[in-house]
Chain A
């Protein structure tokens, strides 16, 4: 009996301690946010992933800004994308913004999920830059209710990187691939495989990036236009994309990889001949210097059966967001003055980082018009910019990755012989149960 009493007492004390701790936290919430107050130099912390791309780009912005703003000290912290997502989620959901940065890079597919799950956590930056100067398709994912929360950064504009030497052996020229459908793409792939013995494309069964690109080229997505519910059963673009995917698998032109380094290796060691992907893949292609002059980039293929499908799509791409913590005004100003309006910075991004932005005025600059020797003198940046303007604007909604995981499973079922309509109906059912 006594033991019970003591235990009860202990737990009561504990509960009291916990509840008082809670109220203390909420009270102090406004005051304990990041950033040094009253200091002469304001510190702006930035989180980004990929040292050779995003971090490098941010460093260029920092240099450009430091010239005439000595009062702002920008600190860039490199984190893996998964870690950033995880830390933002834990930080924002715990209700304390301590330890969170001022500026954070978020992938466009995830942006709505963050902004709607944590409505007050982000700071609107509509007045810090001119949204109409940026590519149309970037504005949907980065804004909520007409307010811009994200400053559009890199373009995920897609194209197909092809090995011209393998193509020639198979009797094709780069010109033959300028206006093709996915069916043509597969036929060419078969021919290449036949003559050179090389696979045509490398795919990861867990990553439906290629499906996403195909359906976005037709202005369609996993979700309905309002981004709220799944649009799978009866989605004609998705149905055709599934069929193309299966045809590719059946044509025996696909090499399977299971992670990023295998993927890149398949191209760098010359065992696969084409890559439909985002322009940020350029750095990985050019890493194999012995293949200089053997690559070209052609427009993204169309879906043959879909009238809306165009030769342009997108894969990935991200934007900068300002968190609603102390120092947000300075952070927003910094973004506005650099990525929001600095044309010279965008030229440097091309020459130093290879990052293609979505800021339209930048396309007039010199760097955008320079030919690239690695790609046989092709003017790749201006090609990509041209395609960027044509990318259909779709709403990525809040649930792209949740639906993607369902699609991945159903794709396996489809490849194993389940009928396409059944596959999409089942996927729709699962997605409806998951998304509420």
Chain B
């Protein structure tokens, strides 16, 4: 008993440092933010307003527009990116492929660029007189320049193209490493049984990649809900609020308008709640208790 409790104390004291750090730098601010989300006012003049902020969320057209945009990015961009990442990783995993290292690096490279830097470059590429428009015009695919950044529809497309470019390579790496862990003998057996390669893909590769699919879709979902840099730098949320995201709205509430940190905290809690809901949903859909 004595020895046991002693080891317990020693082991707990090791853990306590990490626990303390997490409490100080994660849980304490989280609790503070939760308290803040029940206050409202300008700058430092904050007063408790009960659930007023949460009621305001439901009628706030900017918040609802931002929510709608975020969902649109989520529903369209995440599946495209996941499928693309999986497809590319399967191609790159081909034993007969030459210059494998080169292709892998090239596709992963966007993931190491700074978010702001690539956003600025995209803004210029997709500008009214930008490279993309010039190229399309010279190829006679379009007659008038597409307003990639200032048209509500095309601005969304631009953002989706940008984040897909930036994050596909990143997700591909996870699939690639998972693919390399799949025993080749399984494919060999399938081939002997006469399974076509598409059959192999859907009946072997996809099921075995399931944990990774789950992981990448959850991280991508969270990433999309927190989307900020690209929108801030490429379209500033515009035109109007056609590309506004929740994170950018939080920024505007805190720094662009007369600061209302209380309501901004409420919006950030809305994101937290959404992330929790989506993660649970995805676990359930994946249907695997072990994840």
Contact = CB atoms under 8 A, between A and B. Distances in A.
Is B a genuine binding partner of A?
yes
Interface of A: 2, 6-7, 10-11, 13-15, 17-18, 82, 85-86, 89, 92-93, 95, 113-114, 116-119, 204-206, 256-259, 262, 398-399, 401-402, 405-406, 408-409, 411-413, 430, 433-434, 436
Nearest to B46: A93
Contacts of A93: 43-44, 259, 261
Interface of B: 8, 12, 16, 19-20, 23-24, 27-28, 40, 42-45, 56, 59-62, 65, 123, 127-129, 147, 149-150, 152, 235-242, 252, 254-259, 261
A402 B257 contact: yes
Contacts of B20: 10, 13-14
B43 A118 contact: yes
B62 A399 contact: no
A261 to B, nearest CB: 9
A201 B83 CA distance: 44
Given A116-B42, A117-B45, A262-B127, A433 B240 contact: no
Nearest to B126: A258
Given A6-B16, A405-B241, A113 B28 contact: no
A279 to B, nearest CB: 25
A107 to B, nearest CB: 12
B40 A436 contact: yes
A178 B202 CA distance: 74
A11 B27 contact: yes
A80 B258 CA distance: 18
Nearest to A435: B258
Contact of A258 (B44, B45, B150): B150
B150 A433 contact: no
B74 to A, nearest CB: 22
B44 to A, nearest CB: 5
Nearest to A18: B28
A413 B61 CA distance: 13
B2 to A, nearest CB: 15
Contacts of A408: 238-241
B149 A117 contact: no
Q: Is the interface of A mostly helix, strand, loop or mixed?
A: helix
Contacts of B129: 262
B127 A434 contact: no
Given A117-B42, A258-B123, A405-B252, A89 B259 contact: yes
Contacts of B152: 412
Contacts of A114: 43
The 3 closest A-B pairs by CB, nearest first: A117-B43, A206-B238, A402-B257
A430 B128 contact: no
Nearest to A410: B240
Contacts, number: 115
B23 A10 contact: yes
Contacts of A411: 240
Contacts of A402: 256-258
Given A92-B43, A93-B259, A205-B239, A259 B128 contact: no
Contacts of B123: 258-259
Given A14-B23, A258-B149, A258-B150, A399 B128 contact: no
A7 B18 CA distance: 11
A217 B236 CA distance: 28
A188 B40 CA distance: 49
Given A10-B20, A205-B240, A118 B44 contact: yes
Nearest to A110: B258
Contact of A398 (B12, B42, B254): B42
Contacts of A118: 43-44
Given A205-B238, A408-B239, A433-B59, 17 more contacts: A2-B8, A14-B20, A14-B28, A15-B28, A89-B254, A89-B255, A93-B259, A258-B123, A262-B128, A402-B257, A409-B61, A409-B62, A411-B240, A412-B240, A412-B242, A433-B56, A434-B60
B44 A86 contact: no
A206 B43 contact: no
Max chain B Cβ within 10 angstroms of own Cβ: one of A2, A406, A409, A433 = A409
A14 B40 contact: no
Given A7-B19, A117-B44, A405 B62 contact: yes
Contacts of B23: 10-11, 14
B285 to A, nearest CB: 32
Contacts of B149: 258
B42 to A, nearest CB: 4
14 contacts: A7-B19, A10-B19, A14-B20, A85-B256, A113-B42, A117-B42, A117-B43, A117-B258, A206-B238, A206-B240, A262-B127, A405-B241, A409-B240, A412-B242
Nearest to A11: B23
B28 to A, nearest CB: 6
Contacts of A205: 150, 238-240
B258 A113 contact: yes
